[in-house]
Amino acid sequence: MNIIPVQALKQLLTGVSGHGNQHLSEVEADLQQTALLLGEAIETLSASFNAIHAAVAAQQLALDELLAAQGVQAEAAQPLRQLREEIGAQVGAAITAMQFQDMTSQLIGRMLKRIDGLRDLLAPLENGQTAMPHADEHEALSLLLHNMHERVRDKSQALNGGLRQSVKQQHMASGDVELF
Amino acid sequence: MAKTILTVDDSGSLRAMVAFSLKAAGYQVVEAVDGQDGLSKAKEKTVDLVLTDQNMPIMDGLTLIRQLRGLGSYQKVPILMLTTESSDEMKAKGKAAGANGWLVKPFDPKRLIEVVQKVIG
């Protein structure tokens, strides 16, 4: 039976760890950039939303005063009342939808923690290089893989245990309400 | 006199939307950025209702509720959770800690006001 030389296996695992870390860093940078863009987007959206709401409220007040001054009948002002209700409903829908950033930032935070954990999980593959005794190839290989397997398993379990899923929403419809 | 509501959330955008909705309905709003800040502001002035998130740095919502319930002035003040958490397990923890209700994000402002009015008028 051909056995992979221990030194070659170590190099392979070190390569896997190195490439893995490189890609994780790329994902991490993309997520941080996404969080930044979403944060800036919600700030702009909130400012525009507040400005539009203030302008519409002022416009409605001016219209009310104008209608009162002109002595317009209540029936004639009915279309304006309907528009006001429609605006109110749309404002409510916008407030619900604009809560996306709170949820996405929690999800991104969880992803970044998992990336940290994955980086930690890959470390034993690289660290195995210094931990190896130079003994019989087959015995050394078994020991190397056994130790790595245990360390990776332990770190994976620790990672899962520390990352509870707090955002399970799949859409932006408003959530349940329960009074105790 | 307008009733005062303390809203506790580490998300600035979420706090802004809660405050916008409550102020539009005539309530006064005090904002806090985490549980510790919420506890500090609650001690400064007893509010009529506390609306708190769960997952926050420094002090989470459940800890804030337990701390508030330990203060004489907050034993009967209504406390509502407003959080992304929706599991029965978390709701049970909230109830045990002393919460009076649980609202899952995202909230509908009309519904939020209905609940607040039902709880404090």
pLDDT tens figures, B21-51: 999 999 999 999 999 999 999 999 889 999 9
How high is the pLDDT of residue A69? 87
Say which of B9, B13, B111 has its CB closest to residue A174. Answer: B111
pLDDT category at B71 given cuts 50, 70, 90 is very high
The pLDDT, as a whole number, for residue A121 is 84
In this prediction, residues A108-133 reach a mean pLDDT of 79
Under the banding of pLDDT at 50, 70 and 90, the label for residue A132 is low
Q: Are B102 and A178 an interchain contact pair (Cβ–Cβ within 8 Å)?
A: yes
- pLDDT tens digits along A139-173: 777 887 888 888 888 888 888 887 888 888 888 88
- Asked if B111's CB is within 8 angstroms of A177's CB, the reply is yes
Q: Which of A77-81, B56-60, B91-95, B110-114 has the lowest mean pLDDT?
A: A77-81
Question: Across the interface, which of B55, B83, B108 has its CB nearest the CB of A92?
Answer: B108
pLDDT at A2: 56
Contacts with B119 from chain A: Cβ below 8 Å: 179
Is the Cβ pair B84, A177 closer than 8 Å?
A: no
Per-residue model confidence (pLDDT) at position A129:
55
d(CA A29, CA B90): 32
Chain A residues whose CB is inside 8 A of the B98 CB are none
pLDDT at A125: 77
Contacts of A180 in chain B (CB under 8 A): 94-95, 99-102
Does residue B40 belong to the interface with chain A, where contact is any CB pair within 8 Å?
A: no
Which chain B residues are closer than 8 Å to A97 by Cβ? 106
Percent of chain A with pLDDT strictly greater than 90: 37
pLDDT value at A25 more than 90: yes
Complete domains list, chain B, with CATH: 18-105 (3.40.50.2300)
Question: pLDDT tens digits, residue range B2-29?
Answer: 999 999 999 999 999 999 999 999 999 9
Q: Is B103 on the interface with A (CB under 8 A)?
A: yes
Q: How far apart are CA A34 and CA A31, in angstroms?
A: 5
Of the two residues B66 and A176, the one the predictor is more confident about is: B66
pLDDT over 90 at A108, yes or no: yes
Q: What is the pLDDT of residue A137?
A: 67
Global confidence as pTM = 0.83
ipTM: 0.87
Greater confidence (A5 vs A178) lies with: A178
> CB count, 10 Å around CB of A155?
17
- Kindly state the average pLDDT of the residues A125-141: 64
